[in-house]
């Protein structure tokens, strides 16, 4: 079974399902523990991390997601999904919890508010060809990475500053930006390879 689930509680899960299907992956929306049980990998979409956290508890999938991550399930988190994968948040609401598993510290809304959303071309280690067009929407940034976490992308030292915006640690991949909205499928291709243990 190489089905990739997309957590479909809130956020832009439809775009991730579309991106995965466009590259031939078997993808399904996940809202329940039974649905997660049919998947060998999971995508955590962009959206609102506090809402996704609350809904995951309400739908009874939160503990299972945590356990599966700890047991090695491949997971890709984009934007809010990156926050949910992070072991620590700086600047979260006081009761905000994450699924965790990825040894990073993230800062929510690190680039400012909605009006400060921006795009930038970013070179991602391990991705061939032209840089990836990265769309940042109230995006988090990675402040610290633990041992075993590879920094695979950062913004240029410019207006947005030199920030870590893409990381990989074993089966876990996270980006501050939203590749699902651009039509460039290379980040999803990278994750499918990780999920299939080809990388
Ligand atoms: N700012 C959002 C959060 O903290 C993330 C934004 C996004 O996913 N586009 O969850």
Q: Kindly provide the ipTM of the predicted complex, given to two decimals.
A: 0.95
pLDDT digits (tens, 9 = 90+) for 116-155: 788 999 999 999 999 999 999 999 999 999 999 999 999 9
φ/ψ (deg, to 5) at 17 = -60, -45
SS3 per residue for 140-167: CEEEEECCCCEEEEECCCCCCCCCEEEE
- Ligand 1, residues 46, 50, 178: which to mutate, most atoms within 8 A of Cβ? 46
Q: Which ligand 1 atom is nearest residue 79's CA? A: 8
Residue 118 is predicted with a pLDDT of 87
Give catalytic residue positions.
79, 178, 180
pLDDT digits (tens, 9 = 90+) for 71-99: 999 999 999 999 999 999 986 566 788 99
Backbone conformation region of residue 161, classed left if phi is above 0, alpha if psi is from -120 to 50, else beta: left
Residue with CA closest to ligand 1 atom 5? 80
pLDDT digits (tens, 9 = 90+) for 3-20: 999 999 999 999 999 999
- Answer yes or no: are the C-beta atoms of 168 and 159 closer than 8 Å: no
Q: Which ligand 1 atom is nearest residue 92's CA? A: 4
pTM comes to: 0.95
Architecture of domain 4-195: 3-Layer(aba) Sandwich (3.40)
- Is residue 108 annotated as involved in ligand binding? yes
pLDDT digits (tens, 9 = 90+) for 149-199: 999 999 986 666 789 999 999 999 999 999 999 999 999 999 999 999 998
């Amino acid at each position: 079974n190489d089905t990739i689930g997309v957590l479909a509680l809130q956020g832009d899960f439809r775009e991730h399902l579309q991106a995965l299907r466009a590259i031939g992956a078997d993808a399904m929306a996940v809202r329940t523990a039974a649905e997660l049980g049919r998947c060998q990998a999971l995508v955590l979409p962009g959206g609102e991390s506090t809402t996704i956290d609350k809904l995951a508890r309400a739908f009874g999938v939160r503990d299972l997601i945590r356990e599966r991550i700890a047991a090695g399930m491949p997971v890709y988190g984009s934007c809010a999904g990156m926050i949910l994968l992070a072991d620590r948040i700086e600047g979260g609401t006081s009761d905000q919890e994450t699924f965790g598993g990825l040894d990073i510290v993230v800062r929510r809304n690190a680039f400012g508010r909605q009006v400060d959303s921006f795009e930038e071309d970013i070179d991602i280690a391990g991705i061939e060809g032209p840089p990836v067009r990265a769309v940042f929407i109230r995006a988090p940034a990675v402040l610290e990475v633990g041992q075993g976490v590879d920094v695979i992308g950062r913004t240029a030292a410019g207006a947005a500053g030199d920030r870590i915006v893409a990381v990989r640690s074993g089966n876990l991949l996270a980006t501050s930006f939203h590749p699902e909205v651009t039509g460039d499928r290379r980040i999803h291709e990278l994750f499918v390879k990780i999920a299939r243990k080809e990388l």
